[in-house]
Chain A
Amino acid sequence: MAQGIHVATTINGDAVEYVCQPRETLLEVLRNRLGLTGAKEGCGTGDCGACSVTLDGRLVCSCLVLGAEAEGRSVTTVEGLSTNGNLHPLQKKFIEHAALQCGICTPGFLVSAKALLDRNPDPTEEEIRYALAGNLCRCTGYDKIVRAVDAAAKELRSKA
């Protein structure tokens, strides 16, 4: 086995250190070393978006990022969406609008949707659909997901 790489990074606002193998992905580190299993592996090839996290605010598939690449950066996962025990409006609206069935894709959708609303607080339906096109859902037909994101955007705007 190759020598491990020491990494110091920030995850969901907390300082975290770990040692990982050179070929280990950020997704594997999050799930297997840090116990953050909210990000899911649906494909391992960057096609399904279930492992979506943000890296310094940029949306990435954590299965396509090496664990070593997180050095000195800031990672946000689904576990970091709610603050002070309060659900993020996206999380609330997903529940209210029944925007999940099995829920395996939900963490990825929430992270992607938050990345969208962070840069575009008032997206059209088409903008929502294209922003979420990298996240696969096999249960819902996306209908209630798009409605939930739209409702969350409205709520966030009303608070802003």
Chain B
Amino acid sequence: MNHDQSFTNQEFKIVGTRPPRPDGVDKVTGRARYGADAFAPGQLVGLILRSPHAHAKIKKIDISKAEKLPGVKAVITSADLPDLTKGDRGQLDILENCMARGRALYDGHAVAAVAAVDAETARKALQLIKVDYQVLPHVTDVDEAMKDNAPIVQPHIRTVGVNPAPTKASNVSQRTEFGHGDVEAGFKRADVIVERSYKTEQTHQGYIEPHACLASVGPDGQGELWVTTQGHFTFRNQCASLLGMDVAKLKVTSSEIGGGFGGKTHVWMEPVALALSRKANRPVKVVMTRDEVFRATGPTCSTSIDVKIGATKDGRITAALATLRYQDGAFPSIWGMLGGMTSFACYDLENVKAIAYDVLVNRPKVAAYRAPSAPMAAFAVESTIDQVAAEIGWDPVDFRIKNAAKEGTRASYGPTYGPIGIGPTLLAAKNHPHMKAPLRKNQGRGMACGFWFNFGGQTCTDLNIGVDGTVSLTVGTVDVGGSRASLSLIAAEELGIPYEKVKCTVADTASLGHNDTTEGSRGTFSSGMATIYAARDAIRVLKERAAKTWEIDVADVTWRNGRAMALKAEHGNLNELTLEELAAASPRTGGPIAGHNEVVADGAGVSFATHICDIEVDPETGHTKVIRYTVIQDAGKAIHPDYVEGQFQGAAAQGIGWALNEEYIYGKDGRLQNPGFLDYRIPVCSDLPFIDTQILEIPNPGHPYGVRGVGETSIVPPLAAIANAVSNAAGVRLTHIPMSPPRILKAIKNGNGKSHAGR
């Protein structure tokens, strides 16, 4: 059934309130079951052997001794994961990342795996596997990797997007370009031009729950996988495809997820766990250590970016140009392209160009990390915007307001915007008391804007009404931050019943149609849309049942406040029928009452945020302290404001860690030197102030309630907002993220230009 997707500006009774989340009690009592919290009869412990080299040819793997160790039930290498990808190089890349095939491409790359009766036996077995490596030259820096003489990470790669098509292998997997107008002509018209280069280091999503799964495959080709994932349907499809299983015969259940932020959108060791189970014919549980999480999963890109922006003295940007180099780890991807697309998305520009390079290095395969690629581009662009504003003597907020994109603006990446929130967030920032608060010595204030696309995608939802009139809402989008509460609110709103009457469950892959992964801030947006339609579908059935009970035409029945009512005066003698009454009578009026919806949730609304922060810099040590932080973001419509605020605050905190401290440090040997939370330090409670939030609601015309995704956008501004604040506090321009104390001290010592001018 086709549903009208457009925003209707209805009045809400329940949406927008803040009831307790349905999974709250389980999570405060320790009852909630995460990836590592499942156990199966006869389960084995699976462990993975990883390459200690950044780049090496695997000449031989001898597993014979490990196989003979008592208690070892299976040992596998890439030979146990044959290539079934039929020439699909993207799929083969995923398989090769799960288990090296002839070459180890980064420190931490899996080369073999064992399943044994207990952890101690499995650890001993790993030590008995003999791998004969021939170490090859490696490269881990994005700029080094682009040089002509750099070691080649993937010999089959030829740069896509250049003319003529190259014949020689390169670490540049693709070049993309976005924009419009004539930037050279625009720069000629500028009174002021600022051109600057920036670097950002690699960070990890840092979810507190390591990857974990429990895999079980029988000789009949049927299997089950319990796993912490953002997308169990995607995991099912990928694992089935890589292992040659039927999709319908692999049931994947998503556990409670202990954080993902994009890092749990990709399969890592799950196909390996299934292959171990298949070989051992017993359930196998694989739980990564923190060291493995850092070395072999998910980090975001490190980058190197040049930005050039010109403006006239009356505050108008005449041209903007960015060249962005993003490293994707050892496998090609689109992260540089996304950086190019997002870089100037906040502004209404006549002449704009972004050239992006995706680059391979000997580091782990890069995964999505919350608004992937946008924070680094925003850091470079928003830092430059501040410098341009200073050069022409404009207030940074006013300068951004003057140039902000608006409805009808052609975005630098192509589309023309509908109603958007960049202008309103800037205006809210301008009027925010934070902007006027006094600053003390060594303190600086910075602000910056951020953009994210948001995504909709395939969604399938069931809504079943129990005989007592309570409602089971069954969704297939993994709940990463409270979406079960939001979706229950939406079902209650549509049906006109109390929130407490709805219970939302995330179903396994055998219980519901395909749902795309919870990514692109799509959870509440798309499952919310499917929930609205499923509820309306159920209301259609409820009205039919009432009509049947009353023996009147269904067109004469309406649904209001959780009950069926007969319209028209001639039905005046008919009492209303409540949901409970209709549910109780359902066995006699046609059977179970349910609503369903399958939808490709198009119409995700773009999202913008503006952040303000105050930073104190100790000029003696380079130490920084976040004094005050304010997030202003457009949510479209906040379904459950607590969890919208939570997304804003969490994203800001991740951005703060990225800006000031977090960093992958590689040695000259290409090995990661800080794969643990002691040396890769994420913000702790005492590092941060309260993070103030302001939710703006500029309705998304492509959603019945006006919802926009809210999860990602607020990780985009912090790098730049903090860089602008630190630069203002220290009196020098910081161009390298993270702004760790040594980098700040070095910048102060070198006197990186005056804070604003800094050319």
Contact = CB atoms under 8 A, between A and B. Distances in A.
Contact of A135 (B642, B685, B691): B685
Interface string A32-66: 00011111111111011010000000000000000
A141 interface: yes
Nearest to B35: A104
A103 interface: yes
B30 A133 contact: no
Counting chain B CB atoms within 10 Å of each CB, the highest count among A40, A50, A102, A146 belongs to A102
Contacts of A141: 649-650, 652-653, 683, 688, 691
Interface in B1-49: 18, 20-21, 23-25, 27-34, 36-37, 39
A137 interface: yes
Contacts of A98: 18, 21, 482, 642-643, 645-646
Contact of B29 (A81, A134, A136): A81
Contact of B28 (A91, A130, A136): A91
Interface stretch (B105-113, B253-261, B496-504): B253-261
Interface in A115-145: 126, 128-130, 132-145
Interface string B672-698: 000011100011111110110000000
Interface string A50-86: 1000000000000000000000000001110110000
Contact of A38 (B31, B205, B259, B677): B31
B258 A143 contact: no
B646 A140 contact: yes
A36 B30 contact: yes
B209 interface: yes
A19 interface: no
Contacts of A43: 290, 676-677
Nearest to A92: B28
Interface residues of B, number: 60
A38 B30 CA distance: 4
Interface in B499-532: none
Nearest to B290: A43
A47 B653 contact: no
A133 B686 contact: yes
A94 B654 CA distance: 21
Contacts of B36: 31, 37, 40-41
Contacts of A107: 28, 30
B702 interface: no
Interface of B: 18, 20-21, 23-25, 27-34, 36-37, 39, 118-121, 205-210, 256-261, 287, 289-290, 480-482, 642-643, 645-646, 649-650, 652-654, 676-678, 682-688, 690-691
Given A40-B208, A42-B210, A43-B290, 15 more contacts: A1-B118, A37-B33, A43-B677, A45-B678, A50-B208, A90-B28, A94-B28, A101-B481, A102-B481, A104-B259, A136-B677, A136-B682, A138-B654, A139-B650, A141-B683
Closest 5 CB pairs of A and B: A38-B30, A104-B258, A141-B653, A103-B27, A98-B642
19 contacts: A1-B120, A38-B29, A41-B210, A95-B20, A97-B642, A101-B482, A102-B209, A102-B256, A102-B260, A103-B256, A104-B209, A105-B208, A133-B687, A134-B684, A136-B682, A136-B684, A139-B259, A141-B650, A142-B685
